[in-house]
Each structure stands twice: as C-alpha cells, then as structure tokens.
A and B are shown apart, each in its own frame.
Chain A
Amino acid sequence: MLIYFFRRLALTIPTFVALMFVTFAAIRLVPGDPVEVRVGEHGISPERLAFFRHQLGLDQPLWKQFLDYCWQILHGDFGVSLSTQAKVLTEFFTLFPATIELTFFAMMFAVLIGVPAGAAAAVNRGGIFDQVLMSISLFGYSMPIFWWGLMLIMFVSVQLGWTPVSGRVDLINYYYDTPTGFMLIDAALSDQPGAVWDALHHLILPAIVLGTVPLGVIARMTRSSMLEVLSEDYVRTARAKGLSPFRVIGLHALRNALLPVVTVIGLSVSSLLAGAVLTETIFSWPGIGHWLIDSINRRDYPALQGGVMLVSTVVILVNLFVDVFYGAINPRIRHGR
C-alpha cells in the first residue's frame, strides 16, 4: 500500500512541472501585459512603460522569467499580487475557506440526494420513478449554471423571500470577525444569536446551484453501477438466502456499486474547487474562482500563476487521496491488476 502511495505521489511531480509551464505560458499568450492594461485613454509615455516593465521583470527574456518563477515556486514564494500588493499566498488562504465551505455543502447536497436517488432508480428500473429521475438528472446535468442560479434567486429569494440573495452573511444585522474564514465556524465563535442560522441560510442556494451538475452525474453513475451490481450472482444469492431488500440493496449491492461513484465524487470535488467561478459570481461568494477571473482581467501574473498552482495542488492532492482511497477499498487497483 505504501509503495502504491509513493508511486502515485511521484507521478504528481511531472504534473506540477507541466502546470508551472502552462500557467506561465498561458497568461502571457493573452494580449496586453500588467502595465498596459492599467493604461486608459491617457496613454503612457514609452519611458514610464519601460520603467514599470523593468520593475516587474517583464523586459527579461521569457526563459529567464520562467526560471525565476520556478525558482520562486520551489522556495514556496508565490509572489505578490500586482494589483493589491498583498502576498498571493495570503490572498489565497483568505479566500479559499469560502470555496471549501461552498464545495463541501454542494457535495453534501449532491451525494445525499444523488446516491439514494440513483440506487432507487436502479431498483425500479424502467419504472416511472426511474424515468422521471433520469430525466431530472439529465436536466440538472445540462443546466446552464448562470441561468439556474439567477432563476433560483429571482424565485426563491426575491419572490418568496425564503433565502438571502447573495453574500455569506446578513451585513446589516451581523458583524463579527472571521478568523477561520469558514463562516459557519466564525458565526458559532461570534456568540451572536442567530449568526449560525444566518450563515447556513446564505449557503442554501449557492450549494444547490453548485451541487446541481454533480447531483446529476452522481445519480446517473450510481444508477448504472447499481444495475451492473444487481445482476451479479452474489446479489441473487443474497436474495435467495431470504435477506431483507434493505440488506440486499443497502449493504450488499450499494456498497459494491459505490466504487466507481467514489471516483466520480472525487473528480467532482476537484472540478468544484477550481470551477465555482459562475456560482461565486452570481452569489457574490468571495472564493478563489472570482479572484482568478479578476486576476486574468488585470493581467496580475503573480496572482494568477500562484492561484492556479495552489488550486492545482489542491486538486492533485484530492485526486491522490481518491486514488489511494480507491486503492484501499479495491485491491485490484492497488496491485495494478
């Protein structure tokens, strides 16, 4: 198991190197550099342009800029944001808890509904429930997130007034420090009556919106995996033994069917951590997705490069965890068979 873990760990090294190169190159392919995008109609004199380019090291050959950047990263230095002058690492860890919190609740929503629904659909294969559920999951899977989020806001928040429109806290009635960045924890630490409920209240809609696509995927994956497992001999044997349907489906079939679902969940977590941009924008959720988009617009090279590297590290670690976990529950993978 340990060898398997280290083998997986070693495989992440080339991924990191490739990532460093891609993040470095991609932003430089976008027209306009950090100095030029700040310039409006006033223009900028060639002397000032040259001065600031020199200050940022942009007048150096690309290969030297890349080596400097690698050297910095290897020393754990992600640089300083050009627009805010704050350390990239500080900005990342200020914003990342909001993304983790949202992703966690979105996945809870997707898994707690998706897995039982998928299993139930498989058991009732071809029935009304199965057909309705699969249609809904297809709908959820292909839903444009921006539209879905705005529709929910307009209906649930504005028309019905059940949830807040956006943000993480009621700014008029609550004000407390956020030492952890996880609003539920900070609200609990604040000792303000109703603060936890308020924070939870703000999580409902964004979690539903972000969890909708994974919900569709997980439900469909669980269903197809369950269908496969339900036709296995050991399930038939369990039924023949006279076990209750709950034990047959819940304990024997579902546990085995969940193996591929775990991979899907892992992949979903990765993509949610990196790809919550739209949800974060609609719900004014102060996470890293929105920060990265802002960094692209401002050509903030250090923030973007550092941000992408850090997000990628998290994604790689999550994938590594999933692989190892998968290996742990499925020895065939571990032994490369």
Chain B
Amino acid sequence: MRTAAWVSLGLSALLLGSTAGASAKTLVYCSEGSPENFQPAINTTGTSFDAARPVYNRLTEFKRGTTEVVPGLAESWEVTDGGSTITFHLRKGVKFHSTKEFKPTRDFNADDVIFSFDRQWKPDHPYAKVSGGKYDYFNDMDMPSILDTIEKKDPYTVVFHLKTPNVAILANLAMDFAAISSAEYGDFLLKKGTPEQLDQVPVGTGPFSFVTYQKDAVIRYKKNPDYYGEKALVDDLVFAITPDATSRYAKLKAGECQVNGYPRPADLPEMQKDPSLKVISASGLNIAYWAFNNTKPPFDKKEVRQALSMSIDRDAIIRDVYLGAGVKAKTLIPATMWSYNDSIVDYPYDPEKAKKMLADAGVKTPIDIDLWYMPVQRPYNPNGKRIGEMMQSDLAKVGVNAKLVTYEWGEYRKRLQNAEDTTGQMGWTGDNGDPDNFFFLLACNDGHAVQNNIPKWCNTEFNDLLVKARVIPDQAGRAKLYSRMQEIEHDEAPSLLLAHSTVFEATSAKVTGYLQSPLGTHAFEGVDVK
C-alpha cells in the first residue's frame, strides 16, 4: 500500500513537472562547451563567441546565414578619403538590457562605441587590464596598425580615421571582438568596485538578454522585446552544455535539445535517415594546404610545384580522412565566398604527367624531401599525420621520398613561419568572410613574404592587386581583382590547396528559420520551434 502511494506520488509529480512552464516557448541548443566568459573582446574560442552573441550587437553585422556585411548598430556609413575615413551613422532608440542591479538610463550612443574600442586599444583605459587584458582578436586583425583615431562627431556619429586605406575593416567590425558594450554599465561597475562583472554578466543590445549561467551545465537567455532587428521568436533560449558529441546526438533524438552543434561525421548517415531530424551543411570558411617552400630548390620552379600538385590524390584524402566532410579546394577561398572564381580548372590527379613534368623541370628522381605534418587537429585538417602518410605514399609513386616531420604545435607554427621547412601542411580559418582575410596569407612587403605567408611566395602582380582591392569601396570592383588573383595563384601553385572542410549541423525537424552560418557561428534570432 505504501509502495503504491509512493509510486502514485512520483507519477503525479512527474506529470505536474512536465506541464510546469509549458506556456513559454523554449529553444534548447546543445552546445559543446563552457564559455571562458561573456566578453567577446577578450575571447578566442567559437564556444565563447557563441555564448555572448545572443546578447551583443556590432556596428556592422553579417547577414544571418551569409558573410554579407550589413548595417548593425550603425544604420549607414560613408567611406571617404580613398578608403582612409569611414563615418558611421548610429541607430537611434536602441535600448541596452537590464540586470538585477543595473537599469540603463540612456539609449545606445557614440560613447558606447568609443568605450568598447578604447578598452581594447588604449592601455590607460580603466577596463584595459580587467579580466586579463588580452585582446587577441583586436591585435590579430591588425587593428592597432589600421586605426589612427576614433572620433565622436556627435552622439550618433562616429568617424574611424585609418592610417592606411582599408575598406576590409567593415568586415572586421562585424566580428565578435567588435561587440558594443554599455559604457554606462561599465561606469556603474567601476563605481561598485566590480569591473570584472562586465565580462561575467553581459549587458548588450542583442536579440536575447542574459539570464544566468551555471558552469559546465547551462546558459539561459530570454527574449529582448525591445530589440531593433530581427526578433527572437522563442521566449527562452537555453544552451545545454554537452561536451560529448554522441550525447548531443542522443539528446537531439530524445527531444532534450533542438539544435545540435558539431555532430560527429560518423553519425551523419544515420541522422540523415531520421525523419525527425534535419541535417544541414555548408563549406567551411577555411582552407587546408600543403605549402612548398618557394625559397628552396627545386620548389622555386613553378613547373615542379605544378607537378607535385598533380601527384596527390586529394579525393582519397577527403574520402578516408575527412570521411566525406570536405571538398577539394581549387582556390584559397571556398565557393560560398564572394569573388570565388569558378572558371579555374583544378589540377587533376595524374602521377604519370607529374613524373614527366618533374623530369622536364630537371628534377632527378628519386628525390628526398621533408613533409611536415600538423601535430594538432584543426577544423580544416582532421588528422595531419594520416594525411601526411597518404601524401607520402602518393609522392613515392612519382619518385619523391617524403620524410614525415612534425613538432609541438607552437614550435611547428614558428618554424614554418621562419621557412625552416621544405614542404609543410598548414591551413587557415577565415575570420570575417572578406576575401582579403584569405589572400593576405600570400602578402609580401617590399618583395619579402609576411610572417603568415608560409610558402614564402611573392608575386608582384598578385601583391599589387591585393593592396589595390583594399581601397576600392564597392564589392563588385574588388571581386574582379580577387578573381584575377585566384588565376595567378592557381597558375603559380605556391601551395597545393588540399580541401575546405564541410561543416554539418543537425536540428529537430520542428525547428524553422535556422540558418547555418558560413562563419561557423550559431545565431538564434528568427528561429522558431513548431
């Protein structure tokens, strides 16, 4: 009798539980990890950016699901002085979120823009050293050498004066590190003596406001009813932190979450068969390549580089190492990016022709080379060693004996940048969808390759076009130059372009309006659950 009573109590509790809170619409995203904090200016990981993104806006934004730069907190802008001055006209009437302690007394204005950039730029800013003070992205995107001054012309006009013309900065400003925080909130926390709260309890203008965070468990947000842009269609957004990919899949199947970030490639065939799920995919904004050290013979000869480009069976690598989650690359940028030149004819896999070309170029086989392989897994390279082994086997067929070499990742990168290799794997993940953010990888200064130019290849025409494209304000004009640069790069073959990885995401079939971002980010405004 007592057992029956307990069972009945448990069941009724369960039933009551399942109806609690049913009136509010909730979207649960199974995320892969915990954020470092909620301040994109000091973060470097996609996980942390994803967690802060619902809360913040930037001056410019990427149109959801694309890399197109559109107005954000700046509703318009003018580029003048040949690309050296950009005047932003700020949106009026934009409200910041409130917290339990802080209630904003004013709308967003130019002070917030100055506050957000000065923190990352000026060492004497009161927030410069808060939370470690590492502004990696601000520095990685070369902002200190691009920016001259940021001027507040009036409360709703901000002028960026640049040291050199650079319209590609508009894409930089749409990146997460350029998120706009509330200066009023910053002042409030300074007076309270808890400035680090700015990075822990975020206040922004975004489609969702932050509610709570439990480390390694959950992040909760609620809809911002005052949002100026595309509205949130759910009342509550929940990030269920689920580090294991198989558990994320199980949760998606069980209906415990509706969007699953980063599914395992091995689970994809089963996911695609399940009618209760939707699998979407896009070419990742990245490139894996095999760089030839153009400063060392025989790789200083174009014909040798072209021959070696024909000696690697990239289809086999994509099938066996990427498990199909990749596409062969024929230019540095993926096909989803504007200015992609589809007319380029890729190098075929043709070992016989490669052998002949090597002989014609005066290379006596067998020849010994070093093949450096990546010691770490990256989004564009799932297994550097395995790819290296497959390349080694292909190269043997054309009389090239490749010795596999690697170092610890920091050391590896440093030595490659110092051109200590003869050939080596490397790659790049795009930051902002602007072609400049890929083509600068082959930039030179006064005929000397820059640090990130791993093949150490310098071509005058290519470099001139790269510089010129930075000062042309219109996209169509820039696209023509980038298109030509792709032809030069392909013909010269400074590296063999291996692959762009394919990024997959899975959602419940009940989810509508979810758009996959080519930047690999996750955004939930305009997403609904039926």
Contact = CB atoms under 8 A, between A and B. Distances in A.
A174 B410 contact: no
Contacts of A124: none
B17 A172 contact: no
A166 B410 contact: no
Contacts of B413: 39, 41, 43
B139 A194 contact: no
Given A82-B132, A83-B36, A95-B215, A173 B18 contact: yes
A198 B13 CA distance: 9
A194 B44 contact: no
A57 B252 CA distance: 44
A126 interface: no
Contacts of A36: 409-410
A165 B17 contact: no
Contact of B250 (A157, A193, A196, A198): A157
Nearest to A283: B247
A158 B242 CA distance: 16
Contacts of A236: none
Interface in A128-164: 150, 153-154, 157-158, 161, 164
A196 B13 contact: yes
A325 interface: no
A31 B410 contact: yes
A290 B199 CA distance: 23
B198 to A, nearest CB: 11
A84 B48 CA distance: 10
A322 to B, nearest CB: 29
A19 to B, nearest CB: 24
Interface string A64-92: 00000000000000000011111000010
A257 interface: no
B452 interface: yes
A7 interface: no
B134 interface: yes
Interface string A170-181: 111111001000
Contacts of B241: 284, 286
A171 B244 CA distance: 18
A158 B256 CA distance: 10
A43 B410 CA distance: 9
B240 interface: yes
A161 B19 CA distance: 17
B444 interface: no
A286 B253 contact: no
A59 interface: no
A43 B452 contact: yes
A95 B216 contact: yes
A155 to B, nearest CB: 11
B429 A41 contact: yes
Interface in A18-45: 31-32, 36-43
Contacts of B199: 85
Interface string B20-39: 11100010100001101100
A150 B254 CA distance: 14
Interface in B1-57: 10, 13-22, 26, 28, 33-34, 36-37, 44
A158 B17 contact: no
A175 B220 contact: yes
A294 B216 CA distance: 10
Contacts of A282: 244, 246-247
Contacts of B36: 83-84
Interface in A286-305: 286-287, 290-291, 294
A192 interface: yes
B140 interface: yes
Contact of B131 (A38, A85, A194): A85
A70 B96 CA distance: 45
B405 interface: no
B218 interface: yes
Given A32-B408, A32-B410, A193 B217 contact: no
B13 A154 contact: no
Query: Which size class do A's interface residues fall under?
Result: 35 or more
A107 interface: no
Nearest to B253: A158
A153 B417 CA distance: 46
B427 interface: yes
A266 interface: no
B254 A158 contact: yes
B21 A284 contact: no
Interface in B118-146: 131-132, 134, 136, 139-140
B238 interface: yes
B304 interface: no
B196 interface: yes
Contact of B20 (A42, A83, A174): A174
B113 interface: no
Contacts of B13: 193-194, 196-197
B397 interface: no
B477 interface: no
B377 interface: no
Interface centre among A153, A287, A291 (most CB of B within 10 A): A153
Contacts of B251: 165-166
Nearest to B242: A284
A179 to B, nearest CB: 12
Nearest to A56: B132
Interface string A91-127: 1001100100000000000000000000000000000
Interface in A166-221: 166-168, 170-175, 178, 192-198, 201
Nearest to A183: B217
Contact of B37 (A39, A85, A167, A178): A85
B256 A42 contact: no
B451 interface: yes
Nearest to A52: B134
Given A36-B410, A41-B428, A286 B217 contact: yes
Given A174-B20, A286-B215, A38 B44 contact: yes
A167 B20 CA distance: 18
Contacts of B378: 41
A172 B21 contact: yes
A333 to B, nearest CB: 40
B362 interface: no
A165 B247 contact: yes
Contact of A194 (B18, B238, B246, B256): B18
B34 A294 contact: yes
A91 B213 CA distance: 13
Given A32-B409, A167-B240, A41 B452 contact: yes
B243 interface: yes
A59 to B, nearest CB: 16
A192 B17 CA distance: 8
Interface in B290-334: none
B6 to A, nearest CB: 11
Contacts of B20: 173-174, 192-194
**Nearest 6 interchain pairs by C-beta:** A194-B17, A286-B216, A31-B408, A193-B16, A42-B140, A286-B217
10 contacts: A31-B410, A32-B409, A52-B134, A157-B250, A157-B254, A165-B250, A171-B218, A171-B256, A194-B16, A286-B241
Interface of A: 31-32, 36-43, 48, 52, 82-86, 91, 94-95, 98, 150, 153-154, 157-158, 161, 164-168, 170-175, 178, 192-198, 201, 281-284, 286-287, 290-291, 294
Given A31-B410, A95-B216, A198-B17, 7 more contacts: A40-B429, A41-B413, A52-B134, A157-B254, A193-B13, A193-B20, A197-B10
